[in-house]
């Protein structure tokens, strides 16, 4: 491989990279535009309990990766 070949290879890779960036950016913008209504809302949950023991257990389970929303549905004294 000559120095000119190497330069051409690098040029082709840079062009390929820029094209991929443009395509990906366009796809992301299109997806965001189509789904924008779902990005404008938030779902908020809370867990209300009166006993400290179960609260500590739930905190541990959430810290270990448990699903907060599922626990709120199961254990909270009010609606999540």
Q: Is 60 exposed, middle or buried (0-12, 13-18, 19+ CB in 10 A)?
A: exposed
Do 1 and 36 lie in one domain? The reply is yes
Do 47 and 34 lie in one domain? The reply is no
Do 32 and 49 lie in one domain? The reply is no
User: What is the span of the domain harbouring residue 33?
Assistant: 1-40
Provide the mean pLDDT of the chain: 81
Which tens digit of pLDDT belongs to each residue from 17-34?
Answer: 766 666 667 777 888 888
Among the ranges given (2-11, 15-24, 33-42), the one the predictor scored with the smallest mean pLDDT: 15-24
Which tens digit of pLDDT belongs to each residue from 39-69?
Answer: 766 678 888 888 888 888 888 898 999 999 8
For the chain, how big is the Rg over CA atoms in Å? 25
Tell me the average pLDDT across 7-17.
Answer: 82
- What pLDDT sits at residue 42? 67
Provide the domain count of the chain: 2
């Amino acid at each position: 491989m000559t120095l000119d070949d190497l330069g051409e290879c690098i040029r082709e890779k840079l062009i390929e990279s820029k094209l991929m960036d443009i395509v990906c950016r366009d796809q992301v913008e299109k997806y965001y535009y189509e789904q924008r209504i779902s990005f404008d809302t938030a779902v908020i949950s809370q867990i209300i309990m009166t006993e400290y023991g179960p609260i500590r257990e739930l905190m541990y389970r959430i810290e270990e990766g448990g699903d907060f929303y599922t626990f709120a549905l199961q254990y909270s004294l009010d609606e999540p």
